[in-house]
Amino acid sequence: MAFTAAKNKRAQNLTKSKISGITAKEIPAKKRYNDVETTYDRERAMKRERALFDEIIFPNGKSKAFTMSYDDGTIHDRRLVEIMNRYGIRGTFNLNAGFLGQTCWIGGLPGKLDISKIEPDEVPTLYAGHEIAGHGLNHASPTDIGSSAYFYETIEDKAALEHLTGKLVRGYAYPFGAYDEKTKNVMQLAGYHYARTVDTTRQFELPTDFLAWKGTCHHNDPQLMQLAERFCRGEHFSLHTKLFYVWGHSYEFADDDNWSCIEGLCSTLNKQGSDIWFATNIEIFDYVTAFRRLEYGAEGSLVYNPSALSVSLRRGGKTYTIAPLSTSDLDR
């Protein structure tokens, strides 16, 4: 009787499975025949959901990143670079190749603050260890001229800077912070991968649109040091808010007589820097892009890294590093 009852029960289950168009052989052992969502399915869904919350970890296990971006290539960059190098800070300098070596003053009036440009032959040595990016050949406003004229501004600046340095110029800062969809298209055509605006967020978010990259703040922001302290403490961080980005012009320190501002910022970050990746703009672009290009298997445990960079992530309190062009099983 017990055998007959069990046989009848299996027959009932088989009938129900056929009604849904599934044969008994197609159902995994853990699957309950009458359930639309099975234990197996739920486990797989949970794995996929965990993958959605993977946290980016920067090189060498750093959980945060800091970068700076300074425009125009004036002689005051010399002092700024010296301060940055002393504290191990790295950043990006956005240059107008058409102005290099020119003598000029604030407001164009002799006798005012000297904001003459760095000589061309000084560029490779002064900015060694930092990134050189474009800022337009002649600092023309992107939204005030046509696409063809602006393409010339960007591509000629890029060509001249690459000739000076022997390195690819892949980043940009919009002159006057002016940009629109037209200028973003020009950036791509000219071979730029990111472009910084003058918009600020007072947040630590990773950019969602690298061709309209918004910094955390200008160095003259009254909340600069408060933001630095929040950043060091990791306040209000989420999975994708861990980048502190400061921008400006080095001559502003001389004009405002506040070199102590940038000295204090660099010193503070250096002292708290055991968990901070000090990087250039392009390094951050490359790494974040590599992280976002990771490919996941159906269950979320297999992760393939198609880039040429090792990429690290944190899941469930554990940190994993996926080597270039390789697949890792995070459940092993």
What are the tens digits of pLDDT across the range 239-251?
A: 666 999 999 999 9
- Give the largest Cα separation in the chain, rounded: 109
pLDDT band at 35 (very low <50, low <70, confident <90, very high): low
320 pLDDT more than 50: yes
**HSE-up of residue 16 (Cα within 13 Å, Cβ side):** 12
What was the pLDDT predicted at 23? 47
Mean pLDDT of 204-231: 96
How far is 70 from 198, CA to CA, in rounded Å?
A: 11
Let me know: does 317 contact 228? Beta carbons within 8 Å. Answer: no
What was the pLDDT predicted at 110? 79
For residue 84, give both structure tokens: 């940055």
Tokens 């949970």 belong to: 46
47 pLDDT more than 70: no
**HSE-up of residue 210 (Cα within 13 Å, Cβ side):** 18
Global confidence as pTM: 0.85
Burial string for 142-179 (b: 16+ CB within 10 Å, else e) reads: beeeeeeebbbbbbbbbebbbebeeeebbbbbbbeeeb
What was the pLDDT predicted at 18? 40
Mean pLDDT of 275-286: 97
Of 24-33, 78-87, 158-167, 258-267, the one with minimum mean pLDDT is 24-33
Domain boundaries 58-287, CATH class: alpha beta
CA dihedral 320→326→330→332, nearest 10 degrees, is -110
Of 72-76, 125-129, 316-320, the one with minimum mean pLDDT is 316-320
The DSSP secondary structure of 260-275, one letter per residue, reads: HHHHHHHHHHHHTGGG
Strand partners, 107: none
CATH 3.20.20.370 residue ranges in the chain?
Answer: 58-287
195 burial class (0-12, 13-18, 19+ CB within 10 angstroms)?
Answer: buried
